[in-house]
Structure formats: C-alpha cells, structure tokens
A and B are shown apart, each in its own frame.
Chain A
Amino acid sequence: MTTAIGRPIDRVDGPAKVTGAGRYSADVPLPGLVHAVVVGSRIPAGRIISIDTRAAEQANGVLAVLTHLNLPKGGSVPPLVPSLAGAAATGQTFFPMQDEVIHYAGQHVAVVVAETLEQAEHAATLLRIDYAAAPFVTTVEQGREQAYEARRIFGGFLPGRVERGDVDAGLAEAAVTVDLGYRYAANHHNPIECSATTAVWQGDRLTVYDATQGPNATLHTLAELLNVMPSHIRVVTDFVGGSFGCKAMIWDHPALAALAARHVGRPVRLALSREQMFSSVGHREQQEQQLTLGADAQGRLTAVRHHKLSPTSHFDDWAEPSLGVASQLYACPNYQGVYRLIRANTMTPTFTRCPGEASGMFALETALDELAERLGLDPLEIRLRNYAETTPGDGTPWSSKKLRECYRRGAELAGWDRRDPRVGALRDGDTLLGWGMATSAYPCYQPGNPQRARARLYADGSAVVQASISDIGTGSATAMTQVAADGLGVQLERVRFQYGDSDLPNTAAAVGSAGAGMVSAAVHVATTALRDQLIAQALADPGSPLHGADPRQVTVAEGRMALRERPDVGETYAALLQRAFMADAEAVGTWNPPPDTSGGSMTFGAQFAQVAVDPDLGLVRVRRLIGVFDAGRILNRKTAHSQLMGGMIWGMSHALLEGTRMGPDGRWANASLGEYLVPVNADAPEVVVETVESTDTVVNPLGVKGVGEVGMVGTAAAIANAIHHATGKRLHRLPITIEDLL
C-alpha cells in the first residue's frame, strides 16, 4: 500500500535548518572544547628543513603544536576504497605529518591547538617553517611527457583500459568520423559547510561529530588510522551542509582532530577554512580527453575511441571514471577506452558530483552533435538511431529504461521540432538564441555490504525507524520517513526517522547517487518485516478480530490491520500491543544488495537548453534548462526534483563558470568563493524538471534508481550544443569563457 511514497512533502529537517536550530559538526557545544587549526605546506614539493614552534607554543592560549616531530603515532593507512563499499574509505593512501617530505601544496604539516579559534589561528601564523623546494609537476601541460597508462584506477575498482570489438576496424569502415580533443579545468566542490570534526575521548572511547557522507566510513577509517577498535568509536552526523563528494571519502582531518584531542586531553574541534577546502578534501582533476567517433552513412556508430589524460597524486592511481557511462550509453560494437595518468604534486583527486559522467559525456554528447551535423541529421535523431535496446557490453537487458519517453517529452517541452535548426537563425533583437540537447545517464551503483535498518513501533502506534546514513542535504531523511510510513502502514506524522549516527544499523555512505536506493531498501525491509510480524501476532492472538485469518488477506493502513475484502474486520497495532502488554515491537531489516548493477542499470535523462549569446561581448546566458529523467520510482517528488534541478544548475556552472586554476607556484590560484565562481541566484534560468516513472525490479525492492547526480550529466553538452546552434562555434573546453565566443 503506497500512500506516502512519492508525495512532495516538505523536508522533515527543514524547520531546524531555516531557524538555525540544526547543529552541524562544528556547532556541537561541549564542555571544555578547544580548537585546532591545521597549517598547510606553502610549497608543492620538497621537504621541511626546520619548524620553529617556539613562538607559537608561547602564544596566549596555545595548548599544543603538533608536527611530524611530535605527532603521536597511530595505526596504518587503509587502502583507498570508495566509501560505497562500506569499509574504511581514506581519500588518499597518505597520512601527513609522518616525515618531512612535501608532496603537494597545502599538505598538512602542523596542527595548532588553543583555547579559542582566534588564538589557534594567530599562533598558526607564528610558526616558522623552512622548506627545501624541489621541482614539481602540477598540471597536464607540465607532466604530459611522463604520462603512463594506468593499470587500474578509482581505488582499483576499474581497469585502466577497456575494449570491445575492434575499434580500428570500426573506424576504417565508418562513412564519417570526428576526432576531437577536449580540455577541462579542475573543479572543487565548495559546499556551503566547510568540513569539520569535533572529537571527544572518554577514556579509550572516542566520539566524533563529523561532517561526512558516511558516518560508518569515518568510523572504519578512524579505527584503522588510530588503531582503535570500531566498537570504541561512535560517529555522529546530525546535519551536513552539502558535500558534493568532498565528504564522500575520509581525509586526514578527523584523525588529526582525534589525535589532537587525545594529546591535549580535551574535546577538540577542527574546522577547515574555505581556503583549506581547496587542498584538504580532494578535487575533480584537470583533464584532457581525445574522442574519436566513427559512424556509417545512416549515423549509426561504428567505433568509439575515448582516451583520457589527467594528473593524479604520488600515492594513488585515481582518475574519475570519465569513460564509463559514455562507453555504455549507445549501441556501438567497437569501443576502446584508455586512462593515462601523470604523477603530480597534488593530493589524490576524488569524487566530485558526477565524477567522470559529466566530463566524459560532455565530450560524447558534443561530438555526437558534430557527427549529426556532418551527416545532416537532427541531433535527437542521431541519438535515436544509436539507441541501445540492450546493454552495449554483453547485450543483457537493461533493468529499466524509458529514455525514449524522456526524449519525447523533453522535445515536446522544448518545442524541439518547431525550432529553426539552422545556425544563427534564432534571434531576440541583437541577441543570438540557440537550442541544444544531450542525453544523460548515471549508473546504479550498489553498496558493498548488507544495508540495515531497525523499525520500532510503540504501543500508541507511533514509530521510530533508524539507519546510520547521514542526510547531506538531499532530503533522504524525508524520503525515508515516507518509505517507513508506507512499509509499516502508518501515517507519516507518526513516524520519526533517526539517522546520522554510526551506532544505528549499518548503511554505506550516501554516495554515487545510491543513498536513496540502498537505504530505502533497508527501511522497506525492516518496516515490512515489523508489519508482517505484527500481522502474524494478530492472527495468532485469539483476542484479535483477525485471529486465524489468511495473512495474505490482511492489509494495513493508518496503523490498522484489516481484511482486504472486509475492512470492518480488523484492529489497530496499538490495540494489539496494548492487549499483549507490549510497550513496543521491533524488527531489524537487512537488505543484501545484488552484485554490481552499474553496467545494466542506469538513471536516464534527456536534457535541453536554450541559451542567449551576446555576439558583440561574448556573453552567454542560459535562458531555459529542461530535463526529463527516468529515475525509477520517485520517493518524494519535491526533494527529487530539487536534486535534479540542483544538478542541472551545477551543470550550467560546470559549463560556464567553474574552474580552479593552478598557479605557477604549484598552488591553486583562486582558492576562495570570491574567485572560484559558482552561479548566483541571478544566474539561475528557468528550469523545468520532469520525471518519467519506470518500474525496476532489479536495482532494489522499491525500484529507486537515484537522482543525486544525473541532472548534471547532460547539461554542459546541451549548453555547448545550444551555443553552436546560436553562433556556429564548437567549443571543446570547460569552462567556456567569454574569449572563446569572440
């Protein structure tokens, strides 16, 4: 029985957020709390010759200055494994302050602890650190010569080379080919809440308040880094002020906070500054892609060759999987994808919303437009001609796919068929207008371990449902409340979803757009198990009107069990429990995820953009974004559409604004929100979001495919294609700048 699922209800955590009552990880008040400030290396490579800490140590209020010379040793650094696996999830296999070697600018070299934040910040400026600088590489341009083909990337999860068919033969038989080089600036996440950890020890037990996408990821990583038993650690995450991937993996600051707290014997808060966010929690790497497409005269792809080159750190072979979705989307027999890496003096790059999907699909979806133009085909038509009815890899059926419906509806909303397709034909005064479209898709990743939730129903019919997941601003707590209400058959108002605490039943981190699917599965299993348990109790209870009934005939709504055919025969959960003198009833649900579904299950979408270009000034303004998505079942129409809309606006930002520039000194040159531009409200165009519901019985019990990232995937390409329609210019570099358009 579905009554709550899907409804566009308001966020359960909304009032706490807008009134300021919500406590973020840097807000938690603790008696005796002191403050830690990290200090980053000024140079990108070399070593520390000396650190003079005397002035800092003598400054007012300072409790400790930790460096590689005195940092208490902990455990060992676990391997780099994405946090969706559910285990320790270090962002890079490097832990700082173990020796004097500097691998990247901003690498944490000291932690200053003082009574107040201001005292700690001031003392940090008093450190005298002498460095011996060494030559360094921080960009593709500097490291091109020493690039190597990666054996595996992405925490070892993906091969560095993927091939099917014979790409050379495919290109040889093609009637038309395009061969295009793409360049992308590095990106940083910039959530409004900077990462922060508050750590407090009680004896050998550690409680950590951490801004994280996965309380358990923090727990398991800390257990290994500190060599403390997981049973002795608790991670609490009440509120997260956005993340977009920078809190998906666990970086060194939670462990440094815990080590500092143990060292000074006081609770310690360590909050990164905005500037430190640019060199402490990963980034989307700068990259180049070379994409070659071949097609026959009808526009059917005969070959896709897609190579990527990007810098990674000295510790890990990391590249965002830019080639993934772009290799799976269209029916093409011959494919080759290769990741090449450069060892660079940066930290290990990490997940940044649409890690890889956005950059790879920008290449594919703009290249397809060029191919369509060469063949005289409409951009939508070439996509339909290459529509993959089954997965391009091994031809297995998709778990669900309503992409065709998305195209149709999106085209209708955009008036695609009515537009004048000629370049430069649409105008508004002196302004050139253009329409572009692109496909989006995002894989359905599965967590690596069983997902659990606990459901408890009290004798008055109210319920608490628990899972450890944190709500990073996506609305998952709200959606889970809805799932729980339907699973139990009680009213929404009677359910409280409790979350954001590693002491609650296990869930993996809310990453990879997988959170809603996997946690709804656990909540659904737990709540329906409790429902079935209570029905069974009623059937067995001679005092129940349902005594002896067929369990398949019993339904529950608004907390009352009744016979499907005779709704007058039944009783409430409350009556059942009270008669049995039970204060509550409880069940734990465990959902065992299917093996990896990312090859054959995806959220799909069709995206359309209208841009206005001022040809004299080279200014692009996006007027309309339209996105129609097949995301399986939608748990809450409002929060899901907000996610999709946010993704689309981010895609616009990726297209037109965002880029972190590497300075000649090997440091990020625009590490502030004043210089790393993201869109402001006045930039947000009219955004139309629709969803086409599909039934998916493979991904998880409720058929939820995820909406967290897919909105971004096709946006940049749709905008670039629209710019071409307006101006005739083909742009292969992100972000697109004013100068590109003159």
Chain B
Amino acid sequence: MMDFLTPVTWADALAVKADRPEAVPVAGGTDVMVELNFHRRRPAALLDLTRVPELAAWGRDGDVLRVGAGVSYTRLIEELGGLLPGLAAASRTVGSPQIRNRGTLGGNLGSASPAGDGHPPLLAAGAVVELASVRGTREVPVADFFTGPKRSVLAPDELIAAVLVAPADGPEQFAKIGTRNAMVIAVSSFALALHPGRRSVGTGIGSAAPTPRRAPEAEEFAAAHLPWDGPGPLDPDLARRFGELVSAAAAPIDDVRGTAAYRRHSLSVLARRTLTWAWEELCE
C-alpha cells in the first residue's frame, strides 16, 4: 500500500511534509513515475503537489521574477520566453510536448540530475532556489543547491517553493548535445548569459560533472576580455580560450552516452559557439 497525500494549500503541503518526511513529492511525475514503473523505488507515500495553486504561479517580486516550482516547461516557453530566454531555450529541448506539458522546473531541481536541462540556464542567470518548510523559508543560490549526482541540500521536511531569477538583461544561449533531435538525455550541455550592463558573464555546464556547475574562470576571463566598449566582431581566439576554460571547469566521466573526452571537447565547442552567437546578438 502506498498513501497518496493531496494537500490543496501550500501551508497544508508543508505541514504534511513535516509530518511525513518520507513522502515523495510528485509534481509532473515525469521522473517519479518512471522510477515507480521501473521498481527503482516504492515509497510509503506520495505527496501530490499539483493541487497547490501557489506552486504553479509566477510573477515579479521587485527586481526579480519568482517562478513557482510547479510551472511547466510549456509555460516557461510560452509565458516566460521573453523574460528568461535561456531557460526557455533549454525548456524547448526537454523531452516531447507531453513531457513539457507535465514536467516542471521544481521537479527538475528535485531530481537534481547532473543532466537536467533546466539547471545550466539557472546557473548562468545566477538564480536562487527558495526552499520552505514549517520551520521557515531559506534561499539557496542554485550553484550551492546541488551536492552530488541526484543529491541536493533539500532537507527531508522541505519543499522547493520557487526559483528567484532576474529577467535577462542581455543575450542568453543554451546548447545541448544529444544523439537524436528530441527525447534525449544530454551528452553535454552549456548555458551562457551576458550581462552587458554589469559587464559580466554567467555560465552553466550540464552533464559533465557530478553536479551541474558554473565555469568561474571562464566567466572571469570573458568578463575581463570581451570588448564591451566598442562592440564589434568577436576575436576567434577569445572565443576559443573561453571554450577551453569552460571545458577545463568540467569533471566528466565516461558513460554509455559519451566519453569524458568527448564531453570536454564538446563543451569547448558549445561554449565557443554560444559566446559567438550571444555576442553577435548583442552587436545587432
């Protein structure tokens, strides 16, 4: 027997989670149901979050956007494509229309897969994850959220409430390598955000380390050397060096989808290309 818990308010959801910390939250179910089907887990209880309206909302909160954990990829694309183009681009590469209709950003974070496509753009944008429990609310930078493959700082009594992220203030890019054109887990992926106002650069690497991660040296290098003053064509050497630094930031392994060497190599190419595209966009 498995209990199916169905809170209808956020307060109830937190209370239930405090009461039954072993209950597995289910949002879109596109990860949870696969695990149940494959007999990989058989939790004592499922905590259904789809009836909690707060989770499915997004809005402005001062300078930042507060995107509820239950917002689906389809809505990220349709409603937030203009404000968060990097996240929307990544969302377009997720699964199939059915998966994008069901799957949520919160679920992606909850699974904390190194290959989750939502993570690199959140890293590049410097997003913050809002975690909540009956004990209160805390904000964790997304870069600190992941602690290992499929592991995060989420405490047993906590739920992911939302992601806090500033709207894009410059070009954003996302690129993903897969063996086919859709319905594919990334072999490697990379997200980039340019912030011309503050002359800084954000990065996010996917599928090439135990957790999604940034490439801080690459960010600093690009921030220091991009020709912010007189926007013009990008020096190919600069783009190449940026690619090398991104590649160096990765810590990939060999697995059935690809070798560590390919992951490193492909990241340097993706980083070089996305920087070139983003810079062209900035110059337009």
User: Restricting to A25-81, which residues have a CB under 8 Å from any CB of B?
Assistant: none
Tell me, in angstroms, the Cα distance from A438 to B158 when the chains sit together: 60
A616 within 8 A of B: yes
Q: Which residues of A contact B258 (CB under 8 A)?
A: 738-739
User: Restricting to A668-705, which residues have a CB under 8 Å from any CB of B?
Assistant: 669-670, 672, 674-675, 677, 679-683
Q: Which residues of A contact B34 (CB under 8 A)?
A: 674
Tell me, in angstroms, the Cα distance from A737 to B256 when the chains sit together: 11
Smallest beta-carbon distance A183→chain B, Å: 17
Asked whether B184 lies within 8 Å of A677 as measured between CB atoms, the reply is yes
User: What secondary structure prevails in chain A residues at the interface with B?
Assistant: loop
Smallest beta-carbon distance B184→chain A, Å: 7
Given A617-B177, A675-B256, answer yes or no on A680-B182 (Cβ-Cβ < 8 Å).
Answer: yes
Given A125-B39, A669-B256, A677-B184, answer yes or no on A742-B262 (Cβ-Cβ < 8 Å).
Answer: yes
Asked whether A683 lies within 8 Å of B180 as measured between CB atoms, the reply is yes
A619 within 8 A of B: yes
Given A661-B256, A670-B256, A739-B259, answer yes or no on A617-B266 (Cβ-Cβ < 8 Å).
Answer: yes
Asked whether A738 lies within 8 Å of B179 as measured between CB atoms, the reply is yes
Asked whether A738 lies within 8 Å of B187 as measured between CB atoms, the reply is yes
A178 within 8 A of B: no
What per-residue 1/0 map shows which CB atoms of A592-620 lie under 8 Å from chain B? 00000000000000000000000011110
Tell me, in angstroms, the Cα distance from A679 to B179 when the chains sit together: 9
Asked whether B180 lies within 8 Å of A742 as measured between CB atoms, the reply is no
Asked whether A742 lies within 8 Å of B265 as measured between CB atoms, the reply is yes
Tell me which of B177, B183, B184, B262 contacts A739 (CB under 8 A): B262
Q: Which residues of B contact A679 (CB under 8 A)?
A: 180
Tell me, in angstroms, the Cα distance from A617 to B176 when the chains sit together: 11
B164 within 8 A of A: no
Q: Which residues of B contact A661 (CB under 8 A)?
A: 256
The residue of chain B having its C-beta at the shortest distance from the C-beta of A679 within the complex is B180
What per-residue 1/0 map shows which CB atoms of A241-270 lie under 8 Å from chain B? 000000000000000000000000000000
Q: Which residues of A contact B177 (CB under 8 A)?
A: 617, 619, 738
Tell me, in angstroms, the Cα distance from A621 to B184 when the chains sit together: 15
User: Restricting to A702-742, which residues have a CB under 8 Å from any CB of B?
Assistant: 737-739, 742
Tell me which of A617, A669, A683, A739 contacts B181 (CB under 8 A): A683
Tell me, in angstroms, the Cα distance from A656 to B258 when the chains sit together: 14
Q: Which residues of A contact B179 (CB under 8 A)?
A: 656-657, 677, 737-738
User: Restricting to B169-207, which residues have a CB under 8 Å from any CB of A?
Assistant: 177, 179-184, 187
Tell me, in angstroms, the Cα distance from A617 to B266 when the chains sit together: 6
The residue of chain B having its C-beta at the shortest distance from the C-beta of A430 within the complex is B273
Tell me, in angstroms, the Cα distance from A674 to B30 when the chains sit together: 13
Tell me, in angstroms, the Cα distance from A242 to B34 when the chains sit together: 24
B159 within 8 A of A: no
Total count of chain A residues near the partner, CB < 8 A: 24
Smallest beta-carbon distance B106→chain A, Å: 22
Smallest beta-carbon distance B176→chain A, Å: 11
B269 within 8 A of A: yes
Q: Which residues of B contact A739 (CB under 8 A)?
A: 258-259, 262
Q: Which residues of B contact A672 (CB under 8 A)?
A: 38
The residue of chain B having its C-beta at the shortest distance from the C-beta of A739 within the complex is B262
Asked whether B39 lies within 8 Å of A617 as measured between CB atoms, the reply is no
Tell me which of B180, B259, B266 contacts A680 (CB under 8 A): B180
Given A669-B256, A738-B187, answer yes or no on A682-B262 (Cβ-Cβ < 8 Å).
Answer: no
Asked whether A681 lies within 8 Å of B182 as measured between CB atoms, the reply is yes
Asked whether B39 lies within 8 Å of A680 as measured between CB atoms, the reply is no
Q: Which residues of B contact A680 (CB under 8 A)?
A: 96, 180-183
The residue of chain B having its C-beta at the shortest distance from the C-beta of A675 within the complex is B256
Tell me, in angstroms, the Cα distance from A65 to B191 when the chains sit together: 53
The residue of chain A having its C-beta at the shortest distance from the C-beta of B181 within the complex is A682
Smallest beta-carbon distance B52→chain A, Å: 28
Q: Which residues of B contact A742 (CB under 8 A)?
A: 262, 265
Asked whether B187 lies within 8 Å of A677 as measured between CB atoms, the reply is no
Tell me, in angstroms, the Cα distance from A714 to B113 when the chains sit together: 40
Given A677-B180, A680-B182, A682-B182, answer yes or no on A738-B262 (Cβ-Cβ < 8 Å).
Answer: yes
Tell me, in angstroms, the Cα distance from A618 to B177 when the chains sit together: 10
Smallest beta-carbon distance B262→chain A, Å: 6
The residue of chain A having its C-beta at the shortest distance from the C-beta of B183 within the complex is A680
Greatest chain B CB density within 10 A among A125, A656, A661, A742 is at A742
Smallest beta-carbon distance A193→chain B, Å: 18
Tell me, in angstroms, the Cα distance from A621 to B182 when the chains sit together: 13
Asked whether A682 lies within 8 Å of B180 as measured between CB atoms, the reply is yes
Q: Which residues of B contact A617 (CB under 8 A)?
A: 177, 266, 269
Q: Which residues of B contact A737 (CB under 8 A)?
A: 179
Tell me, in angstroms, the Cα distance from A683 to B178 when the chains sit together: 11
What per-residue 1/0 map shows which CB atoms of B230-274 lie under 8 Å from chain A? 000000000000000000000000001011001001100100000
The residue of chain B having its C-beta at the shortest distance from the C-beta of A615 within the complex is B269
Tell me, in angstroms, the Cα distance from A675 to B256 when the chains sit together: 9
Tell me, in angstroms, the Cα distance from A401 to B225 when the chains sit together: 66
The residue of chain B having its C-beta at the shortest distance from the C-beta of A661 within the complex is B256
Smallest beta-carbon distance A707→chain B, Å: 26
Q: Which residues of A contact B256 (CB under 8 A)?
A: 661, 669-670, 675
What per-residue 1/0 map shows which CB atoms of A121-162 lie under 8 Å from chain B? 000010000000000000000000000000000000000000
Q: Which residues of A contact B262 (CB under 8 A)?
A: 618, 738-739, 742
Q: Which residues of B contact A621 (CB under 8 A)?
A: 181
Q: Which residues of A contact B183 (CB under 8 A)?
A: 680
Tell me which of A618, A657, A669 contacts B180 (CB under 8 A): A657
Smallest beta-carbon distance A402→chain B, Å: 35
Q: Which residues of B contact A669 (CB under 8 A)?
A: 256
Smallest beta-carbon distance A13→chain B, Å: 25
What per-residue 1/0 map shows which CB atoms of A615-638 lie under 8 Å from chain B? 011110100000000000000000
Q: Write 28 A-B pairs (CB below 8 A) sorted by A numbering.
A: A125-B39, A616-B269, A617-B177, A617-B266, A618-B262, A621-B181, A669-B256, A670-B256, A674-B34, A675-B256, A677-B179, A677-B180, A677-B184, A680-B180, A680-B181, A680-B182, A682-B180, A682-B181, A683-B180, A737-B179, A738-B177, A738-B179, A738-B187, A738-B258, A738-B262, A739-B258, A739-B259, A742-B265
Q: Please give 9 more A-B residue pairs, beta carbons under 8 A apart, in addition to A617-B177, A617-B266, A680-B180.
A: A125-B39, A670-B256, A675-B256, A680-B183, A681-B182, A682-B180, A682-B182, A738-B258, A742-B262
Q: Which residues of A contact B (CB under 8 A)?
A: 125, 616-619, 621, 656-657, 661, 669-670, 672, 674-675, 677, 679-683, 737-739, 742
Q: Which 3 A-B pairs give the minimum distances between C-beta atoms?
A: A682-B181, A682-B182, A616-B269
